[in-house]
Homo-oligomer: A and B are copies of this chain.
């Protein structure tokens, strides 16, 4: 039988940047599944930028986290005990569960992971939501085609690093930006980007984007918002597409201080540009397509993937805050238990 269950709860809603005191660690007896329920032993959990939005008490595409409640995350877990027809004890599954060691689950939106050569934690990253997001945004929304010019911001992140590699595998020019020289070197030397720059040490974002995309941009994969969106906008080619995945720069802003948008919106008219926000869950067929294609590319050595792994549920808040500040390289994972 499981020991006690450590949990991270939302102690208070952040106003601006998230701080450690927005979280609290509690400990209680491990739960027992009722009829129809599963008891999950969480092995890996994911921390992702979208969670910042759920910490606000504001209408969005998912419900806000409740004050005092256990936070939710994508996990890879083992079914320890099943009182449901859908899953059996011993199954390895992925889906949403609590920031905790043991979770009760009704099985909805839980997906069984077939055994394969890829590490289990990859299903929270390159083969999970971030990889699916990269594929849906670049191919579905961005309509990237062979020979086109692709630029991605936050390019060394969980999503961006996959965007650039998909672009290269499709025969596109792939350029990106990141927040340190180390990350820029990773993009160019390890992930195969054609060009990249450090946005923190550049004088002019407009010029820097032009330098990494000298033929302009056909697809911009937007992860950061703010001044970067403006710099990309001015460099877009006619009929370019901007896939709006996230805007980290705007997540930590109080509503009353929401910054103005990019200058040059009028370029959208003259150059026939498309800008479109998307939520990966609304494109289930493309997601399936990605799991197949991504697995194949991984096997063929056509995709490289890095993780930053924190250990223990106690360290999940720090891992989350670090990810929001860009301290991780690749996908930020929290390991909660041994496989």
Interface residues of A (CB under 8 A from B): 53, 60-61, 225, 229-230, 238, 244-247, 250-251, 258-279, 282
Q: With A61-B238, A238-B61 known to touch, is A268 a contact of B276 (CB < 8 Å)?
A: yes
Residues of B with C-beta under 8 A to A273: 276-277
* Nearest 5 CB-CB pairings of A with B: A261-B261, A260-B260, A268-B277, A269-B277, A250-B266
Complex CA gap A275/B229 in Å reads: 14
Complex CA gap A278/B251 in Å reads: 30
A261 and B258 contacting across the interface, CB-CB below 8 Å: no
Residues of B with C-beta under 8 A to A259: 263
A61 and B268 contacting across the interface, CB-CB below 8 Å: no
Q: List 6 A-B contacts (CB under 8 A).
A: A247-B266, A250-B265, A258-B263, A261-B262, A261-B263, A261-B264
Complex CA gap A133/B169 in Å reads: 38
Across the interface, name the chain B residue whose C-beta is closest to A279.
B272
Residues of B with C-beta under 8 A to A60: 270
Across the interface, name the chain B residue whose C-beta is closest to A258.
B263
Q: 13 extra interchain contacts, Cβ-Cβ under 8 A, other than A53-B270, A230-B261, A258-B263?
A: A225-B266, A246-B269, A251-B266, A258-B264, A268-B275, A268-B276, A269-B277, A269-B279, A271-B277, A272-B278, A274-B274, A274-B277, A276-B276
Residues of B with C-beta under 8 A to A229: 265
Closest CB in chain B relative to A246 CB, distance in Å: 6
Complex CA gap A251/B270 in Å reads: 11
A265 and B282 contacting across the interface, CB-CB below 8 Å: no
A275 and B274 contacting across the interface, CB-CB below 8 Å: yes
Complex CA gap A259/B262 in Å reads: 9
Q: With A61-B238, A61-B270, A260-B260 known to touch, is A225 a contact of B265 (CB < 8 Å)?
A: yes
Across the interface, name the chain B residue whose C-beta is closest to A253.
B266
A275 and B272 contacting across the interface, CB-CB below 8 Å: no
**Contact among B61, B238, B261, B268 with A272 in the assembled complex (CB-CB below 8 Å):** B61
Complex CA gap A55/B225 in Å reads: 32
Residues of B with C-beta under 8 A to A61: 238, 270-272
Residues of B with C-beta under 8 A to A53: 270
Of the listed residues A238, A251, A268, A277, the one surrounded by the most CB atoms of chain B closer than 10 A to its CB is A277
A247 and B269 contacting across the interface, CB-CB below 8 Å: yes
Across the interface, name the chain B residue whose C-beta is closest to A268.
B277
Residues of B with C-beta under 8 A to A264: 258, 261
Across the interface, name the chain B residue whose C-beta is closest to A273.
B277
Residues of B with C-beta under 8 A to A265: 225, 229, 244, 247, 250, 261-262
Closest CB in chain B relative to A263 CB, distance in Å: 5
Residues of B with C-beta under 8 A to A225: 265-266
B282 and A277 contacting across the interface, CB-CB below 8 Å: no
Residues of B with C-beta under 8 A to A262: 260-261, 265
Residues of B with C-beta under 8 A to A238: 61
Residues of B with C-beta under 8 A to A267: 277
Q: With A274-B274, A274-B275, A276-B273 known to touch, is A244 a contact of B268 (CB < 8 Å)?
A: yes
Of the listed residues A246, A262, A265, the one surrounded by the most CB atoms of chain B closer than 10 A to its CB is A265
Residues of B with C-beta under 8 A to A271: 61, 277
Complex CA gap A189/B259 in Å reads: 39
